[in-house]
Amino acid sequence: MRLDRFLLTLVGVTESEPRMVWAAHYLSALAKALMDDVELGKVH
């Protein structure tokens, strides 16, 4: 996921596409939330 976020951010910056940068950060936060939920599920 980090590579995808990096590539989206890179494309967003080099092509002046702020939506790509926003998408990278949004998807990264979504993935982290999902991983946190999975980790909590393993504990319980």
**Tens of pLDDT along 27-42?**
888 888 999 999 998 8
Is 42 part of a structural domain of the chain? no
Please report which confidence band the pLDDT of residue 43 belongs to, taking 50, 70 and 90 as the band edges: confident
Q: Which amino acid is present at 6?
A: F
Q: Which domain holds residue 26?
A: 2-36
Pairwise CA distance, residues 21 & 28, whole Å: 11
Is 44 part of a structural domain of the chain? no
Pairwise CA distance, residues 41 & 23, whole Å: 27
Predicted structure pTM score = 0.58
Q: What is the pLDDT of residue 42?
A: 87
| Number of domains the chain contains | 1
Q: What is the pLDDT of residue 34?
A: 92
Locate all alpha helices (DSSP H) within 1-44, ordered by sequence: 2-14, 18-43
